[in-house]
């Protein structure tokens, strides 16, 4: 039975949908994560000849026409295409039929960093004559909230609809908001997660900040040299427990709670105080002691400052026990998928709980005394997971932690 009080509505995860550089659908995604495969390859979406860095976690086997009617595709940017595809995969995985969903008690919350930025990027390559302006910009594709509208429209969801732009933590923000809506009785079913297509603008920004590694990401390694940009979408179907139980749904995990904070320090460099506050709140709000945590899905970008700050957070919260808690970074395999990252990492938490297996941090070679944690180096591990934390540290000091629990 759910661990939360009977006076509160319990929130469970019943469906998982993935579009990633490691596979379409959670099955391939999970298989390749556990195998320690890399989804990093040379960028072919845009010309990188003027860049020193040329690699990203690009999704190359995605065929949106397999998920979306061709008549609609021309009106959708790549972000919406990936988000709708991940939503359909999650809905199918949840075993939900349209008749099972009250459209007025179902909604969508999605996080993104760049939104439909590719639409503007594609247009910027073309002539800006008045004729081309009218011809080449698709109507209603460029606003960020077109993503959530397009999901809601695809599935006739008439409940609350929210878009989050909290950078790398945006997917977790979307999950937390969905949790609140179900918990408070304002919804029974939510499509929650994140998406971001590979963006030339974001790639250029990271390149200018000299934060992109040459060809691989090495979280927590002493010689780590930066992140690798990526793209993808992760969508979770969240339901109220009794709603899911009534229809005999498979339940991956219960969401116990979350914690959010701002470090109010620097636009791009995290300060440990924000993450300490977010994790502390998440544990307190979930009624969990630090000793009960079995796995941490680390933010783990592979940059010097981010990984160091995150480990300081772990040391502060867990003390010496942090060496006994597996804390891996799947960004080592996927790259940094921005607004999709914490959603995909939440999916990894649910699968770790389901399978009792921890995905590795690949490319780990040289221990760093300032990152002295068990990052599950290079090879997945069999490990019973009852409580999993998904930690995210975003630009703008936005920190968020979500707590998942096995439903006993």
What sign results for the dihedral spanned by CA atoms 315, 317, 323, 329? negative
- Is residue 336 among the annotated active site residues? yes
Q: What is the DSSP letter of 140?
A: T
CB 179 within 8 A of CB 9: no
Question: Catalytic pick from 162, 336, 371, 401?
Answer: 336
Q: Report which of 335, 304, 29 is spatially closest to residue 196, judged by C-alpha positions.
A: 335
Question: Catalytic pick from 162, 243, 271, 299?
Answer: 299
Structure tokens that stand for 353 in this block? 């709980």
Close Cβ partners of 134 (under 8 Å, ≥ 6 residues apart) = none
Q: What is the DSSP letter of 399?
A: E
How far is residue 39's CA from residue 215's CA, in Å, rounded to a whole number?
Answer: 11
Structure tokens that stand for 227 in this block? 């992140």
CB 195 within 8 A of CB 114: no
How far is residue 23's CA from residue 20's CA, in Å, rounded to a whole number?
Answer: 5
DSSP states of 8-63: S--EEEEEEEEEETTEESHHHHHHHHHTT----EE--SS--TT-S--EEB---S--
Q: What is the DSSP letter of 138?
A: P
How far is residue 270's CA from residue 220's CA, in Å, rounded to a whole number?
Answer: 15
- Is residue 63 among the annotated active site residues? no
Question: Catalytic pick from 10, 109, 162, 168?
Answer: 168
How far is residue 377's CA from residue 385's CA, in Å, rounded to a whole number?
Answer: 18
- Is residue 299 among the annotated active site residues? yes
| 216 phi/psi in degrees, rounded to 5 | -155, 155
Burial class (CB in 10 A: 0-12, 13-18, 19+), 172: buried
CA distances from 4 to 1, 46, 400, 405 (A): 9, 48, 21, 11
Catalytic annotation, residues: 168, 299, 336
């Amino acid at each position: 039975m759910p661990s939360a009080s009977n006076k509160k509505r319990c929130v469970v995860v019943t469906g998982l949908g993935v579009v990633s550089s490691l596979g379409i659908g959670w099955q391939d995604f999970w298989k390749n994560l556990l195998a320690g495969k890399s989804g990093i390859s040379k960028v072919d979406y845009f010309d990188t000849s003027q860049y020193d860095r040329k690699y990203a976690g690009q999704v190359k086997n995605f065929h949106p026409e397999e998920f979306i009617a061709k008549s609609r595709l021309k009106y959708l940017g790549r972000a919406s295409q990936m988000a709708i595809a991940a939503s359909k995969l999650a809905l199918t995985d949840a075993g939900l039929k349209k008749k099972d969903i009250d459209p007025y008690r179902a909604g969508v919350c999605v996080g993104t960093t760049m939104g439909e930025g590719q639409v503007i990027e594609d247009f910027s390559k073309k002539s800006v004559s008045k004729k081309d302006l009218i011809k080449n910009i698709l109507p209603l594709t460029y606003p960020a909230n077109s993503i959530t509208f397009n999901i809601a429209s695809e599935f006739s969801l008439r409940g609350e609809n929210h878009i989050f732009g909290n950078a790398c933590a945006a997917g977790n923000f979307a999950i937390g908001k969905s949790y609140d809506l179900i918990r408070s009785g304002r919804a029974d079913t939510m499509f929650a997660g994140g998406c971001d297509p590979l963006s030339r603008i974001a790639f250029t920004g990271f390149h200018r900040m000299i934060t992109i590694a040459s060809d691989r990401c090495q979280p927590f390694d002493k010689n780590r040299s930066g992140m690798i940009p990526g793209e993808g979408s992760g969508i979770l179907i969240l339901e109220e427990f009794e709603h899911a139980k009534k229809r005999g749904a498979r339940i991956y995990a219960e969401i116990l709670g979350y914690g959010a904070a701002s470090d109010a320090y620097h636009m791009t460099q995290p300060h440990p105080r924000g993450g300490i506050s977010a994790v502390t709140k998440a544990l307190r709000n979930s009624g969990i002691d630090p000793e009960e945590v079995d796995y941490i899905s680390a933010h783990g970008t592979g940059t010097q400052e981010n990984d160091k700050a995150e480990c300081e957070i772990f040391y502060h919260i867990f003390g010496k026990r942090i060496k006994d808690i597996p804390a891996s970074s799947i960004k080592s395999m996927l790259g940094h998928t921005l607004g999709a990252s914490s959603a995909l990492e939440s999916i990894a938490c649910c699968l770790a709980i389901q399978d009792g297996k921890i995905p590795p941090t690949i490319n780990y070679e040289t221990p760093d005394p300032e990152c002295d944690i068990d990052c599950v180096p290079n090879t997945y591990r069999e490990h019973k997971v009852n409580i999993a934390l998904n930690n995210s540290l975003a630009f703008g000091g936005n920190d968020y932690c979500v707590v998942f629990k096995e439903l006993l």
